[in-house]
Structure 1
Amino acid sequence: MTLLAPKTAEPVEQAAPPKRSTLARRLVPYGYLSPTLILIVVLMVVPIVMVISYSFRDNVIVQDNSVFAGLANYTKVLTDPDFLAALKNTAVFITVSMAAHLVLGLTFAMMLNTQLLSGVTKAVFRIVYILPWLFTIAVVAVIWRMLLDPSGVVNYVLHTLGLINEGVNWLGDPGKALWAVTFINIWSGYPFFMISLLAGLQGIPNDLYEAAAVDGTNWFQRFLHVTLPQLRPVIISMAVLDLIWTSQQFALIWMTTGGGPLNTTEMLSTYTYKQAFSEYEFATASAAAVLVLLITMVLAFFYVRSQRER
């Protein structure tokens, strides 16, 4: 007698939910991005396009009927002695600032990363070193204008130490003004380098230092062959970013010297501002702004390239 196996109920096929069309699924991410894209287009792309168009025309904004001028505005800017002086001052300003930021930031970062100091001492030093970065650039400008005044604290200290005989007008002397504003920019900007390099130092494995010590290397050799190669990506990224930010510095220069005296502290940013809102030469200012944009794009290209290599 054979036993018949009970019949199993066949599964009921459920209707598959309707699939979204391929086009709709592809448009969903752009729907989420659309508010940001609209803001970028309205606040960045459109103004850039307008400025570029202004640079090829004459009598823009101030007159209704502007005329096409071709490259005349660029020729005028590139042959302007004030623009060439601003370009030279900007090159000195950003180069010295970036080098000093790197040296000071790395020095203080290594000091805070050492094992020779206690935790409390490191915490106190971190607060002291990061203070310049907490002030807004307007506060920094006002403070240093008071400190560097001929009757200010800096001259008083130097006179007390016997280093000067009379008060020096640091921001009003054509031979000292550029170096004075560069020093202020260095003082206010090195904490960002210090924090970034400190994070990089804390990410270096101790095994590398122990292996180098076993090989008989001294502290300088370990710094040269272990620390610097490990910090190379951070140093390159920070250097390029600092060049971009410093080249666009405006508020500090405008609130301390205004580009003077005798254009010795004139920067590309202050030159462009004066052309637009002091001389009302908006076409010339647009051409100068486009040149600054090109310089910034070159620096940004190297920054993106370093990030991809990293």
Structure 2
Amino acid sequence: MITSHPTRARTDDHPVAVAAGPEPSGAPAPRRGLTLAQLRARFTPYGFLTPTGVLLIVLMVTPIVMVVQYSLMDRVITNKNPAFVGFQNYLEVLTDPVFTVAVRNTLVFTVGSVVAHFVIGLAFALLLNTPLLSHRVKAFFRVLYVLPWLFTVAIIAVLWRLLLNPNGVVNYLLGTFGLTDGQTQWLSDPSTALGAVTFINIWSGYPFFMISLLAGLQGIPRDLYEAARVDGAGWWGQFRNVTLPQLRPIIVSMALLDFIWTTQQFALIWMTTGGGPITSTEMLSTFTYKLAFTQYDFSVASAAAVVVLLLSMVLAFFYVRHQKARD
């Protein structure tokens, strides 16, 4: 048996010292302190984010915490010594019949608006992307179709209140063609008010879908359409098997965003009908506003605001989840 010494070796009968090997790989390396340059490089991004973080805390987190706190108290602001009542304010909101009406109106208003925004926006986007029209004609219609998106909510509300007036242009045209008697109270009749404000919101919001879908259409490779035509697909087959699948991520993202924004629509409703007549156009936003600044019941209004916040967070969760899946 031949054995070797770990630190000695023999050459020409003379012992020669052999250097010891390196330390085992499992041994911990000596820890060195971070230099000033390394610390600066590590914390510089946080320095840039600090102003935004402070603004978010002051302008978003703090008000939300205050509203949640108010919703658990009794008669805050108007009462010097408000008492803790727990979830009583939430019970009062959820059992209020006007709240049920507001939820139903909000769903009708939102679903109708989002579906119409998609249909109209897609139709106009396809029209503006067709090779059958010249560039000048398409440029003219692009400017024309995007005009509703350039107006502020106040201008849109005043404009349509004048147009839908009993003596306005809409009644005049409908009466001239014999479609109505020409004296319809579009915004004052409970049977037509919700449909009227939904139509106004559709008119003012479809350019958001149109512009987004037009950008998506222009990004679809032409090779896909050529391959579809080679396979014998007509215009409907190309639309169903090429256009819609390519636009699906944009459609889902825009629909979720539009749903969130439309459920929180307040200015347009308030400046056209104020939630009336009676409760025919009462939305969650106007319902909460009236609780706070008409009835001065800030505790119940805070509870209603928290309910709306939770519903919005559910929609936001699905939107963020879809964006992560898309990425």
TM-score (norm 1): 0.93
Q: Given the alignment of the two structures, is residue 167 of structure 1 paired with residue 214 of structure 2, yes or no?
A: no
2:173 counterpart residue number:
157
Note the 1:1-310 alignment, pairs <5 A. Answer: 19-20=35-36, 23-310=39-326
Residues 34-82 of structure 1, C-alpha deviation per residue, up to 9 Å, x if partnerless?
A: 1111111000000000001111111101112110011100000000011
CA drift of 1:21 comes to 6.6
CA drift of 1:24 comes to 4.7
CA drift of 1:22 comes to 5.3
Aligned-residue CA RMSD (Å): 1.1
CA drift of 1:30 comes to 1.4
Question: How many angstroms apart in 1 are the aligned matches of 2:78 and 2:38?
Answer: 51
> What letter is aligned with 2:222?
N
> Any idea what SS the aligned residue of 2:36 has?
coil
CA drift of 1:163 comes to 1.0
Question: How many angstroms apart in 2 are the aligned matches of 1:22 and 1:82?
Answer: 60
Question: How many angstroms apart in 2 are the aligned matches of 1:25 and 1:132?
Answer: 48
> What letter is aligned with 1:135?
F
In the alignment, is the contact (CA less than 8 A) between 2:172 and 2:182 conserved in 1?
no
> What letter is aligned with 2:309?
L
| Structure 2 alignment gaps of length 5 or more | 1-33
CA drift of 1:252 comes to 0.2
Residues 149-176 of structure 1, C-alpha deviation per residue, up to 9 Å, x if partnerless?
A: 0010000000111111241000000000
In the alignment, is the contact (CA less than 8 A) between 2:93 and 2:303 conserved in 1?
yes
CA drift of 1:28 comes to 2.1
Question: How many angstroms apart in 2 are the aligned matches of 1:66 and 1:196?
Answer: 49
> What letter is aligned with 1:125?
F
CA drift of 1:248 comes to 0.6
> What letter is aligned with 1:92?
V
Question: How many angstroms apart in 2 are the aligned matches of 1:129 and 1:286?
Answer: 39
> What letter is aligned with 2:42?
R
Question: How many angstroms apart in 2 are the aligned matches of 1:303 and 1:228?
Answer: 19
Question: How many angstroms apart in 1 are the aligned matches of 2:216 and 2:42?
Answer: 40
Question: How many angstroms apart in 1 are the aligned matches of 2:227 and 2:301?
Answer: 57
TM-score (norm 2): 0.88
Question: How many angstroms apart in 2 are the aligned matches of 1:141 and 1:220?
Answer: 38
Question: How many angstroms apart in 1 are the aligned matches of 2:272 and 2:81?
Answer: 38
> What letter is aligned with 2:169?
V
Question: How many angstroms apart in 1 are the aligned matches of 2:107 and 2:214?
Answer: 28
Count of aligned residue pairs for this structure pair: 293
Structure of greater Rg: 2
| Structure 1 alignment gaps of length 5 or more | 1-17
CA drift of 1:26 comes to 3.0
> What letter is aligned with 1:158?
L
Question: How many angstroms apart in 2 are the aligned matches of 1:21 and 1:165?
Answer: 80
